[in-house]
Chains A and B, each alone.
Chain A
Amino acid sequence: MWIRRVTRQLLMIMVTVVLGGFLGATLVRLAPGFTVDEGELDPRLAKESVQVLRQARVQDGDIFRFYGHYWARILKGDLGVSRSLGRPVSELLAQRLPVTFRSVALGLAVGWLFGLALALPAAMYRSSAYDLLSTVASGVFLCLPSTVLAMLLFFLRGSAPLVIGLVVFPKVFRYIRNLVVKTSSLPHIVTARAKGLGRTRILFWHVLPVAGPEILALAGVSVTLGFGASIPVEVICGSPGIGQLAWLSALSRDLPLLVNLTVLVTVVTLLANFASDFTAVTLVRNQQ
């Protein structure tokens, strides 16, 4: 059963990459200005050089040929050259990926820590004053765009991981609080409470194991949230990661770079979702 599930998920990742690649290649090919190379405007180039540049563009004019070239390069590990920065995309990714991975990982840790620290007491004690305060605190962060949050925290010398954490935190808080409250009303948990079990024991022995799979599903989704937030946060905080690179490539219409970045982030988020899904299934199997 689980082998079929794993195979299906991996197949889904492969299909996404193939379709994402095709979608990206189509966007690059159909974008206005594809057939013109900026190099043609360079007065230092000889007529022959300009002719070679034009010829290269004409060869890519056939859309099927273009797809062929695109995939042949991808399979060789050549992600192309950034038009705006003039450097190989793989080199840029190797430089910037670790920065973003670090920011997103730390940000997710901060977001989950804040979210759990506020959600569990809110669900356990059901104090209306605490509930109101925690809801207002999470609501403020939920209502502000991540860019505004990044600007405000940047002035307060906050770092990129902290801002990503504060973007993720309200979603984690609200989902877990609602989930724990809902799970706490299950008949076997009401019985455990009626028998006089302590709040902490009920939470860790009865509530969290039941809510575990759904919490793990949220963990996968929060990776997507973290990477999404990395664009505005890295731009505002000046952090040299792939979020900032995506923004620079969007401003300079560097579509080959942007497409590769999008496909790469998609693969990472799919793998994260796959890992959380797989862990949740294993957890349920062990419980059964």
Chain B
Amino acid sequence: MKRLRQLALGVLLAVFVTSLLADFITPASYATQFRDSPNVGSSWKFPLGTDELGRDRFSRLIYGTRVSLLLGPAAALLSTLIAAMIGGAAGYIGGSTEQLAMSATDLFLSLPWFFLLLMARAMLPLNAGTWSSVIITFALLGLLGWPPTARIACAGAKSLRESDVILQARASGCHGLRLVMVHVVPNLAPTLFAQFWILIPVFIIGEANLGILGLGVAEPLPSWGNLLRELGDYTVIMSNPWSLAPAGLLLLVMSCFQIALSRKENSV
């Protein structure tokens, strides 16, 4: 299992590095149109063929991977930070602050996430520019995904508050911000780090779902979400099976995340 996990991490690293090198390894930009060659099949010039607008699918896949794999973790980081602030503070302070914060967290947890996401996305301009749509999509994922992590951070901070380590530190005269920064945050960090990892695939899948429904990253910038929209056209899949490549890559990356996270998930 350890070797399998190392292999999964290796694959993730390889895909991530490849996507970072998109500018150097792709034959064309993600928006370049080869107007003489729309919907062509796989060839040396276009390894995965072209889409209906004549754009190279391979280039778009590599750039799309970069968008999803860079911004998924960014949204997870934002969510973890919010959760750490709300849950960590609530657990550490305790009393009515904890009750209030956890009631708010429970309230958010009971809201159907995808409906809430759709509502918040619809409130913002749908005809936003490319980069605005990227920021809006991933910021929304980050801003709405904090409640489960906040609950875990709260439980962690609460057990720390009652631990001998903190009692000893208090008895030694360590109080306030120093106590938080020196003893609470470092002890809470592994839990938050694990949650950060767990959130990444959740947000990547969330973006993919939004993108396929036309509410994610706007064209021409590719992301896994809008690349997967092509799967809706049965004739494209039959004429060029390489159009399934984004789904295959997504499955590979998500499987690697599942394997890498399997130790944490196996605990109920």
Residues on A close to B: CB < 8 A?
Answer: 12, 15-16, 19-20, 24, 27, 30-32, 139-140, 142-148, 151-152, 155, 174-175, 178-179, 182, 214, 224, 227-229, 231-232, 235-236, 246-247, 249-251, 253-255, 258-259, 261-262, 265-266, 269-270, 273
Contacts and interface: CB of A to CB of B under 8 A. Distances in A.
B240 interface: no
Nearest to A13: B110
A175 B232 CA distance: 32
A250 B118 contact: yes
A262 B228 contact: no
A174 B265 contact: yes
Taking residues whose C-beta sits less than 8 angstroms from the other chain, chain B's interface range is: 35 or more
B266 interface: yes
Nearest to B201: A143
B115 A231 contact: yes
The 5 closest A-B CB pairs, nearest first, are: A143-B254, A250-B122, A147-B212, A228-B114, A145-B208
A262 B119 CA distance: 8
B9 to A, nearest CB: 16
Given A32-B125, A144-B247, A148-B212, A258 B254 contact: no
B208 A253 contact: no
B100 interface: no
B255 interface: yes
A31 B123 contact: yes
A208 B123 CA distance: 45
Contacts of A148: 208, 212, 228, 231, 247, 250
Nearest to A146: B209
B212 A255 contact: no
Interface string B218-245: 0000000000100110100100000000
B251 A140 contact: yes
Residue among A27, A142, A227, A249 facing the most chain B CB atoms (10 A cut-off)? A142
Contacts of A250: 118-119, 121-122, 215
Contact of B114 (A143, A174, A179, A231): A231
Contacts of A232: 114, 209, 212-213
A139 B103 CA distance: 33
B110 A266 contact: yes
A179 B208 CA distance: 30
A229 B125 CA distance: 24
A235 B5 CA distance: 36
Contacts of A140: 251, 255
Contacts of A214: 268
B126 interface: yes
Given A16-B110, A142-B258, 19 more contacts: A12-B106, A15-B107, A27-B123, A32-B125, A143-B250, A143-B254, A143-B257, A145-B205, A146-B209, A148-B228, A182-B268, A224-B110, A229-B114, A231-B213, A250-B122, A258-B118, A258-B119, A259-B119, A262-B115
